[in-house]
Structure 1
Amino acid sequence: MTHSEIMLDYLDEGQIDEAMKEFAKALRKDNDATLFSLAEELYSLGFLAQSKRTYERLLEKYPEEDTLRTFLADIAISEGKSDEALNYLSEIDEDSDAYLQSLMVAADLYQTQGMFEVSENKLLTAFRLAPDEEVIQFALGELYFNTKQFSQAIGFYLELIKAGQTELSQVNLVQRLGVSYANSGQFEKAMAYLEQIHLENMDSDTKLQMGLTYLQLNDQQKAIDILYDLKEEDPSYTSLYPILGQALSNENRLNDALLVYQEGLSVDEVNDTLYEQAAVVALKLDDEKQAEKYLNKAIDINPDNTGILLQLSNLLVKQERDDEDVKLLEDIKSDGDVDPQIFWNLAISYERLENYEKAEENYLEAYPYFTNQSDFLRSVIFVFRENGRQEELQDAIKHYLALVPDDQEIIDIQNDIND
């Protein structure tokens, strides 16, 4: 047996000290081919320092072997030594047999640094040099997938699958392609691939994606089935609860939906989305007290979420709690770009509080956004008439009668104006 083989046996038995003694002997006595194999094996086992020493010994003897530089650069990346990795790679010329591999290693380095455009350029250069090389196609697919450029990932995964590859580096390419199609809005194509994967072979992310895709395809029951399966398998996977609850709500299974949201909140009690969705269902169940509780919880977590604030405002307006509504909304209004429904809600509350100046101000702010809403227009017609805004009044009447042409009271107001 070679000293390299003895070393690996000691490592397998957990005898590290004895293994290191044999390693020193291997560097002195084993032939170069054996040392090259040893370096590869040590790298795969995570003994980076020993692998590096072996490659360095070989590079001293074979300085023209650029492949050794790519291996050393790869180790430097694993050790977080970016400058050292770049030094090795910069020594490899474009006419070197190892140039293609150096591009791949450089792409990996730049990805670890978050320099995805530079990484992409390296991979595209490699792709132009070797367009049929599957490892390059896979690397580009993974880069685009992980940077959420799903439409660009599709072509690379598709080519690999057409070539007969369904898995590379323990990555399921069928799953990747299905998820990429789904995130590109091509839901039917997504399901054609995702449904090829056996349920027992799916990871949690794939099950969630399938549930979401079924939801997009309006197949609520299939979404419910796979997400319940995911919940049973991994109840701590919090992303499933909003989607499962939505599917149940779409099927009008409101009590089940509320229970799912409550279960989700027991896992993730600071999820403002779950509180918001639970509030919506509680309102549908006519439980306004519970809905308000959920909305206030959501606001405590995310006070800048105007959607949640507006839902609470809608509830306060419905309950005629106008002082509270004004207090809630005035600060939001001052922030600038806001939902125009806020102006409408404020107008209603101010009008009921008999602050007609403020009511008119907010009706005017809201008016351009609701000229197709008959309820709004009918209210604003009386405000404009009361305050003598003839131009706005006539415009509001015109829009309103286009929607409700047989409202005699508004017709009479129009006739009075024309007389």
Structure 2
Amino acid sequence: MTKQWLYVIDEAIKRIENDELELGLQALKKVQKHGKDLPEVMLYLAEVWYRFGHLDEAESLIRDILQKHRELETSLKQEYQMLLAEIALDGNDFDTAQSILYDLKEAGEESIRLDLLLTDLYSMQGLDEVAIKYLEMARQKDPGNKEILTALGNMYFQIGKDEEAMQILEDAGGQSVDLLLSKARVLAQNGDFEQAYHLYRQASAHEQSAEVLYGCAMMAFHTGHIEEAAGYVGNLLALDEEYVAAYPLAADIYLSMGKTEKSIDALEQYVELSGFDLDQIRRLVALLTQAGRYEDAKTYQKLLDQWSTEETE
């Protein structure tokens, strides 16, 4: 029976992912109605509710199962509790999450998942030093886990310990995209644009994501490789035309190439997408005026005046 219900859940997931939302939700509700005597099935269902953003449904189901099945196997009960803590964290209910996680810790639970949830708990409250302590615990349990090492390196960056961060990322070994991006970010923040550009280009050989292309374009621009920067930003906007941050950068690049009209086009698209950015509208007005497009400049000046008035009210 357990396998049959798990199969129904998997089929419901496929329905939802294929935009057959109502059919998928009906199937999940059917499982919840008829499978409550199967805690393993209900745990999977709660995870699915959580994955699709139905946090109240997931929390209600978990609490119902924990109330109904008081003699759950310890490991299964702990899985329920950790999912409940995860839901609380998503709702910024730090007190509930902390209570659950501390109870698990006192009960002797020592899993990596628990350490990572405690990391999230303290990181979300801005307590980075405490968060790092739990992330270090997770690292001790799985020293070669690149995701943990990358997260730990990034947290050390956040508290200003760049050398420790870089060493941790080096200890991770290999050159995964996440590690390359982590190194590139801190180098860029420290003004070492050439080395950052080198790492972004290495990352681009493995992955042509928007973040990678944006980093390549930004560092190429800062290091004077303008043609390359234009190529990267063009590829980025072809990949994701709603990547808002790319448009001001594109405007900078095109302006440095003497392509005022392309710079204006980029800023117009940026204003249309971003809605509210007075600095970029001022810049657009100046470029339109410089280009002799006075009527267009007046249009954006009116928008600028309107938003400036609203901002001061």
TM-score class normalised by the smaller sequence:
0.7 to 0.9
1:145-180 CA deviation, whole Å, 9 max, x = no partner? 256357233223324545683752632143332234
* 1:223 aligned residue: 131
Distance change in 2, residues 1:375/1:321 (3 Å): farther
1:141–1:154 contact (8 Å) kept in structure 2: no
Is residue 299 from structure 1 mapped to residue 197 from structure 2 by the alignment? no
Is residue 310 from structure 1 mapped to residue 214 from structure 2 by the alignment? yes
Counterpart selection for 2:115 from 194, 200, 207: 207
- Unpaired stretches in structure 1, ≥5 consecutive residues: 1-101, 128-134, 406-419
The code of the aligned residue for 1:307 comes to: E
In 2: Cα distance, 1:166 partner to 1:188 partner: 26
Report the Cα offset of residue 326 of structure 1. Answer: 1.2
Counterpart selection for 2:58 from 153, 158, 178: 153
Highest RCO, 1 vs 2 (Cα 8 Å, sep ≥ 6) = 2
* Equivalent position SS for 1:325: helix
Report the Cα offset of residue 194 of structure 1. Answer: 0.9
TM-score normalized by the length of structure 2: 0.77
- Unpaired stretches in structure 2, ≥5 consecutive residues: 14-23
Report the Cα offset of residue 209 of structure 1. Answer: 2.2
* Equivalent position SS for 2:104: coil
Distance change in 2, residues 1:169/1:351 (3 Å): same
The percentage of counterpart residues that share the same residue type is 12
The code of the aligned residue for 1:209 comes to: L
* Equivalent position SS for 1:196: helix
1:329–1:346 contact (8 Å) kept in structure 2: yes
2:98–2:121 contact (8 Å) kept in structure 1: yes
Is residue 324 from structure 1 mapped to residue 223 from structure 2 by the alignment? no
TM-score normalized by the length of structure 1: 0.60
Is residue 140 from structure 1 mapped to residue 52 from structure 2 by the alignment? no
Distance change in 2, residues 1:188/1:153 (3 Å): same
In 2: Cα distance, 1:139 partner to 1:186 partner: 26
1:55-84 CA deviation, whole Å, 9 max, x = no partner? xxxxxxxxxxxxxxxxxxxxxxxxxxxxxx
Report the Cα offset of residue 224 of structure 1. Answer: 0.4
Report the Cα offset of residue 376 of structure 1. Answer: 2.8
Alignment of 1:85-164 (within 5 A): 104=2, 106-108=4-6, 110=8, 114=11, 118=27, 121-127=30-36, 135-136=37-38, 139-145=41-47, 148=51, 151=55, 152-162=57-67
Report the Cα offset of residue 250 of structure 1. Answer: 2.5
Q: RMSD value over aligned CA atoms?
A: 3.3
Is residue 238 from structure 1 mapped to residue 238 from structure 2 by the alignment? no
In 2: Cα distance, 1:382 partner to 1:115 partner: 55
Distance change in 2, residues 1:155/1:370 (3 Å): closer
Counterpart selection for 1:175 from 73, 82, 94: 82
Counterpart selection for 2:290 from 358, 371, 386: 386
In 2: Cα distance, 1:287 partner to 1:273 partner: 19
In 2: Cα distance, 1:382 partner to 1:108 partner: 62
Q: Give the count of matched residue pairs.
A: 291
Indicate the structure (1 or 2) with the bigger Cα radius of gyration.
1
